[in-house]
Amino acid sequence: MEFRNNNAVFAAKNANAAAAGGGARGGAAGGSGRAKKGGGADADAVAVVAADAARRLRDAEDDANAPRRGGRGFFATKGKNVRSEASLTSLDLADEDTVRELLGRLPVGHQNERAALQRELEKNYSRWWQLLQSEFSLLLYGFGSKKALMEDFAMKTLTDGGVVVVNGYHAGLTAKSILVSAAAALAATKTEAENLHSTSNESLLRRISTLAVVGAAAAAGDLVVERSPRRLYIVLHNVDGAPLRNAESQALLGELAAMPRVHIIASVDHVNAPLLWSKREAARFNWVWQRATTFAPYHLETANVPQLLASKGEERHVRGASNVLRSLTSNARDIFRLLAEHQLQHPDEQGWKFHAFYTACREQFFATSEVTLRSHLTEFTDHELTRYKRSNDGEDLVVIPFAADILGQLLKEIHGV
């Protein structure tokens, strides 16, 4: 590959021509005895210019012909890439807890501007209350935590009914716990509220509907029906939180929102939050989107977020394992469950010997032959759910490469499928 800088070539040719012309003129002048004073200095200057132009031309050609990563040359594309042996663990990085603690010590900036935003949003309280009374559900969006704003709105405005505050970002939240809290807020006695945990979801929905329409006294069997039963307000922080991103939870919340005298005030922060609901599901909520930008920090909302420097890859791996298990047949899930339960019961073992594992599967009628079991294990291994090890006596060991707490979580999901 050859590269020629046209400007440099042109300059070199001109310089060489000028040097040749200057030399000819100098020779003629010397022959006639009429040489001008300083003619030798001019020739030296031209020679310097010519040499500099030639040097720049060589440098340009060398630079263009030098092998580059990603170049078109064969050796440039087929050459071996030099990789660094440095890793993330070799860096002297502070742990994430320390980073968060230091960030928490930083002074909060723009306090006056945030306070002004809060005052402007408080002017919408009366309108939001009117929308709730008209059987709409409020959905607040915008940058910044809306937790303080929503709870302030509930405390100052929602005084004509029971208020249930739900933290949708909490990892242990379930849809049934929301139903239990909603029914308890409308219950007549504390004993009645304590007995709700053993009630099914359908029974809880019917009870909430009855309590909201006729009141607690009528639901308890009294002859007098309350003229104005209490309303129920559900303040739901992050309806798009990870525990609620499933069809069952959103369906139950939609049932609550469709009930008379039951109102939902929710917030979203994920950019893809509208994808949670189909057109029919969104109609059940009857959302009214309200912009509520506060620029407040997400202190509580991000408290349960896994550490980015340590467990992001592991979290993604666990989520993928959960999705794979849901897509497997019930027989394959039973085989994985049997292996997981054995691993939890024998944490000191390096793995379960294959023949012993096969015997247990055959006794449970999960696998009728070693070929069937190995086909399932091959699928597990391809999805990084299991691994093979070799024992000291040369026998194959089957192991699940997850910690005990993660195995427990996967077992709960298997039982829920």
Q: Round to whole Å and give the CA distance between 277 and 68.
A: 51
The model carries a pTM of 0.56
Q: Scanning the structure block, which residue is given the tokens 């939180």?
A: 241
pLDDT at 343: 92
| Cα torsion through 353, 354, 360, 366, rounded to 10 | 150
Name the strands in the sheet holding 352-353, side by side, starting at the edge strand that comes first in the sequence: 352-353, 396-399, 387-390
Local confidence pLDDT in tens for the 417 residues of the chain: 444 444 444 444 454 444 444 444 444 444 444 444 445 555 666 677 677 777 877 776 776 666 555 445 555 555 566 666 665 556 566 666 677 777 778 887 888 999 999 999 999 999 999 999 999 999 999 999 999 999 999 999 999 888 999 999 987 788 888 998 888 888 766 666 667 777 788 888 888 888 776 654 444 454 444 445 578 999 999 999 988 998 889 999 999 999 989 999 999 999 999 999 999 999 999 999 999 999 998 888 887 665 555 444 555 666 778 888 888 888 899 999 999 999 999 988 889 999 999 999 999 999 889 999 999 999 898 888 899 998 888 889 999 988 888 888 888 877 765
| Ramachandran region, residue 365 (left: φ > 0; alpha: ψ -120 to 50; beta: rest) | left
